[in-house]
Structure 1
Amino acid sequence: MLKPNVGEMVSISSPLNFLRMVVFPALSSPLGRRVKEQVTSESSESSEKNDHEFGTIHKKTRRREKNRLAAQKTRQKQTQRADILHQEHEQLEKKNVSLRREIEQLKDVLKQWKELVQEHEPRCQMMNAPKSQSELVNVFPCEWS
């Protein structure tokens, strides 16, 4: 490390001057000033770059947040649709059970009617009745005993 001479000692009266002259002597020389300007320039460019990076990071963060909210909204809509479909499914299942019961009841009624017709056929007077129009007028209705 270089030691300052007596003339420089006068200008090293403050700690800041001491740092400039003794600790960082390159910054006090003309070449050092150019280096300092470059460092300052690079620092401002770096600062601008950091600002740009911060802006980019901020944009990414906003985009991610927006995307997160959109995804959340989409999932919520899907859940609602699934709930609606589930309710419709349950209603249709109940309707299906009800219709199957009705079908069974109607089958029972049909079976009863078939049995009644089978019992009636042997005694039916209309089955053996004449087929002409004039003869049909004189035919009495069947007896349903």
Structure 2
Amino acid sequence: MPENLLTDAKIKSVKPADRDWKLSDGGGLFLLVKPTGGKLWRWKYRLQGKENLFVLQAFHVKGDLSAIFEFAVVWGLVEANPIPSLRGLLRAPLSESKAAMTKEQIQKFYQELRRYRDYPETSLCLRLIALTACRPGEAADAE
């Protein structure tokens, strides 16, 4: 298990510099501190001898990363699961309710949707949402 893990207090006290710099948390996990003050988690690992970089961003993380890391531990790809040390650091973004669409906006939306040809899954998912009034995430994760 990595020693000297980063704490919430240590991360909050970090100040930006004139260029990007890294603050190690052990096991390849590090905090990239941007000159703008942004703090981004990165994980550097090797797979079949090739170095890789996994980008962790709180508002894009989906699924149970802990399970993925546990799988990697079992297969000997990593030494430890860094997720427990991240608990409480990644926060979900605040969401705002959107105004209801007018009749004209709905008609225009469906006309555009009928002309859409790029990804049939997108069109089907939007139709499913409209017909069932489910949330977009529920439709995207439907099996």
TM over 0.5: no
Q: Which has the higher contact order (CA 8 A, sep 6+)?
A: 2
Task: Decide which structure has greater strand share.
Answer: 2
Higher Cα Rg, which structure: 1
Question: Scaled by the length of structure 2, what TM-score is found?
Answer: 0.14
Question: Scaled by the length of structure 1, what TM-score is found?
Answer: 0.14
